């Protein structure tokens, strides 16, 4: 018989979550004693849980009152949740239109460390097509949607994500070295779009542009993936795919609150 998931619960984790959920708009600071009473836990246990949460950034202590309040990590997690939900919702009709006008599979993905997660895609109805990547987490440097976002990183963030010179690859065409990746990312900035040439999967090419939100930060990338036979150099240089893609990236950025006119130059 299959056990209920509640039977797998870890009490200490559950108690830690109880602490986080104890804070409200009207009670944004709480002490160890108050939390101990509310949760029916020994003060020592509450203190140890708070110390762990504080170390990870989910809780912080007010040096004046010595009470505790939610830390910046909770805002970060909440922002990611909102960002992903809103980005995917706004992206769907844009992907549908991009697929219809380009005739190729359209995707949207977000960057998480040095990986990309494909949030949504609208597949072409052509018999030969790139396989959907929804939910997949892939090395960012092997994909157009990943490189489009990596290109906006600071030097410090790039060094942190890629401390080693050798890079893991998915095919023999994947970028093998850190220096080569850095050089390509500079090219992405200059061109305004990123390109993958059988680096993620053989016989598949991709092209992508970054997406910005109201904070003026790049939070995602919109792209097209297609067989090499259709996403040819000639089609990229002379066709309408690139212009369609750039327009889709701009439309999604606008929908997420980005305003180019307010960006300082």
Q: Is the backbone of residue 168 left (phi > 0), alpha (psi -120 to 50) or beta?
A: beta
Q: What percent of the chain has pLDDT over 90?
A: 72
**pTM (2 d.p.):** 0.71
φ, ψ for residue 106 (rounded to 5)?
A: -110, 140
**Residue 112 vs residue 96, higher pLDDT:** 96
Helix (H) or strand (E) holding 15: helix 11-21
What's the rounded mean pLDDT across residues 14-21?
94
Residue 102: pLDDT over 80? yes
User: Does residue 257 surpass a pLDDT of 80?
Assistant: yes
User: How high is the mean pLDDT of the chain?
Assistant: 90
Per-residue pLDDT at 3 exceeds 90: no
Q: Where are the domains of the chain?
A: 9-70, 79-262
Share of the chain above pLDDT 70, in %: 93
> Does domain 9-70 sit in CATH 1.10.10.10?
yes
Greater confidence (154 vs 263) lies with: 154
* Interatomic CA distance for residues 19 and 21, integer angstroms: 5
Q: Which of 35-44, 69-78, 134-143 has the lowest mean pLDDT?
A: 69-78
26 pLDDT band, cuts 50/70/90, is confident
| pLDDT tens, residue by residue, 175-196 | 999 999 999 999 999 999 999 9
Residue 261, pLDDT score: 52
Residue 150 binned pLDDT confidence (cut-offs 50, 70, 90): very high
What lies within 8 Å, CB to CB, of 68 at 6+ separation is: 29, 30, 31, 32, 35, 50, 54, 59, 60, 61, 62
pLDDT greater than 70 at residue 106? yes
pLDDT digits (tens, 9 = 90+) for 60-71: 999 889 999 999
For residue 265, what pLDDT is reported? 37
Q: What confidence score (pLDDT) does residue 15 get?
A: 94
Nearest to 211 by CA among 119, 134, 78, 135: 119
Per-residue pLDDT reduced to its tens digit, 237-252: 877 999 999 999 999 9
Predicted pLDDT at 262: 47
Residue 34 has pLDDT above 90, yes or no: yes
Q: Which of the four pLDDT bands, split at 50, 70 and 90, describes residue 167?
A: very high
Structure confidence at residue 83 as a pLDDT band (50, 70, 90) = low
Model confidence at 166: pLDDT above 70: yes
Mean pLDDT computed over 214-232:
93
CATH code of domain 79-262: 3.30.450.40
Q: Which two tokens stand for residue 6?
A: 């509640």
What's the whole-number mean pLDDT along residues 198-215? 94
């Amino acid at each position: 018989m299959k056990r209920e998931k509640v039977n797998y619960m870890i009490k200490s984790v559950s108690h830690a979550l109880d602490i986080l959920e104890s804070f409200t708009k009207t009670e944004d600071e709480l002490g160890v004693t108050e939390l101990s009473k509310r949760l029916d836990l020994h003060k020592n246990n509450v203190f140890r849980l708070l110390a762990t949460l504080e170390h990870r950034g989910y809780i912080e202590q007010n040096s004046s009152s010595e009470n505790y309040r939610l830390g910046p990590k909770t805002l970060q997690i909440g922002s990611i949740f909102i960002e992903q939900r809103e980005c995917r919702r706004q992206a769907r009709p844009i992907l549908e239109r991009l697929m219809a006008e380009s005739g190729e599979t359209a995707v949207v993905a977000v960057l998480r460390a040095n990986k990309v997660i494909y949030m949504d895609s609208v597949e072409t109805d052509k018999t030969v097509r790139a396989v959907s990547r929804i939910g997949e987490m892939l090395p960012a440097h092997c994909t157009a949607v990943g490189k489009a976002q990596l290109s906006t990183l600071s030097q410090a963030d790039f060094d942190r994500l890629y401390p080693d010179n050798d890079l893991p690859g998915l095919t023999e065409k994947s970028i093998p070295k850190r220096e080569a990746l850095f050089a390509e990312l500079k090219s992405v900035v200059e061109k305004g779009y990123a390109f993958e040439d059988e680096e993620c999967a053989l016989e598949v090419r991709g092209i992508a542009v970054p997406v910005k939100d109201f904070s003026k930060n790049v939070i995602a990338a919109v792209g097209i993936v297609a067989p090499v036979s259709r996403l040819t150099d000639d089609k990229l240089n002379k066709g309408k795919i690139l212009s369609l893609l750039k327009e889709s990236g701009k439309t999604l950025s606008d929908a997420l609150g980005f305003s180019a006119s307010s960006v300082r130059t």
